[in-house]
Structure 1
């Protein structure tokens, strides 16, 4: 049996059409001081993702791995449920809460949506997710029209999103900047139709949609969310190219936002940007390594990317005595401080990078021959039985982050 913290599971007991998970007590490992539970999956839970015992999907009982469900009349589709626990120092799974409400909060994230059937399926998943808000990490409509008023690619996309899920927070991708190909939408219009949700009651610092941050919740925040735009060329802003080279203005802005969060004692720092530097897919490192290595040195907790149309979860990464930083087109095992095989990561040791370009477009391959593939502990791509689109959901507590 795989041992995981019970809070890290999506419990669907009593919900029609979904599997249930049974819990039975198990003794704690010697000296841990923490009681474990053994998770026993029903026959309808399939291990459908690559990368170790903690990678699972929860699928409707009417579906089998390898068959993609549709919303249809049930208004239900299955998404990604990959269990990953970030734990505090000195404990296997949890420590006593130190700040804010021990119940924490929940958010979902994905990028690369489009405006077609895949987008609708993802919205159905979000509609039943229970998340407090969703992060749309770039490449929003791809110029598609949803049929919702106003009849523009930006207005219609936001109107359809809000019909299913109101609290969406957006960030530009390369298809939202007015760059080639033309007509795919402008982030300056997306931010008008998808403004930052006022219901979250927290201020935004910076330029929403491009480079900004906010803390959540506003009082005794558990996390700072920082959004960046590495290597995006904003044709809609006279061609401004956002670069994050060492000691550049945007690099120093990012460093300051992280340092301020650490100084304020905010437990978690989460950084999101559309393009990734390391990914085992169709894209090379387009952002440059400077910004990624800054995040490794600062030991932020989560890095959220999209751009590559699959799911990839990294090992825990850091600058070490044997790793001066990530280098282009190469793999260095010295940059890995935890291999992620058990799905548990030590808080403060370095970030975990998650690519979730799964918001609606067809999935890409995971290229095992790519040197960067060695940095990843798990993936879901075209070679994954039962793979599908959807969102990644994160539960944030004072002492842990759980990814589903």
Structure 2
């Protein structure tokens, strides 16, 4: 074998998994189409990641949390869900002793911190600026041909190359792909009213808008609309866009002033029919690409790679092949058990809160009020948000 593990994709899940292999003695290669410089210093992409307690613990173990500037970490003290024009809101309060629900951290800073950890990692080769041209698996090995002309073999092939994973498709692993016809526009905005570190998710009629509290009188605004409408808004000047965002958020935080570049992301969800196959596993968005409304996707990717690394570690301690079928199936069972309820629940929530029929409006408003009266419901959701 050329390597024990071949990792395809240098996003957060791929980088975290590569780092999780440190100290195992396994020889690994990470294949990423972006050049080295883009991985080492990724550009701001507008996305603020809501990290749970569990995800923070993973990043701490990997040494990445310590590399994120503390002034760029914004605590999420509480969350509020609003529906339509109703003044009623369902609140999720802090945990015991005022413990934060989570932390908001710029995506590009997480990626930078993870890359810093793997950049000099022994027993790991970074094949930047290259992509997979073809892939195949046999009983004893997986083989990929790179765009550079090189062919490499390994005992385990790990796909971490996005929700539209070309590697997943090349290997014939089917996936449910849902292009939603909607897009989200994200940017930072300054405002005069305090947010008190409370996130607001507002399901308005024909739109969804989230106001995520950042440090320094700033919020990340995430607006979801049909793709064509988002394209129109993205072309506005900063002043006009600020006026539009203020109107769409009903002035909750006062006049919004655009304070960053704006970024547009078409929305699509994916669910792979299998998270593993012969000599192959899928992690991150290649396995399950979540709708961003519940902020579970990034955290699920981190926990999934951790589970795979744990199963590989167990196999090594028992003298077994890290790419054998029992390792892959154990990972798949464990990750699907966690991911499936989140996938189904998120899709149900999105369906309910984007349905503008009168009966749906009544149902979701009644659901919010019922949830407010059930302490066990609120504490259950809070425990998911604060998952360890």
- State the TM-score, normalizing by the size of structure 2: 0.25
**Bigger fraction of residues in strand:** 2
Q: Bigger radius of gyration, 1 or 2?
A: 2
**Bigger fraction of residues in helix:** 2
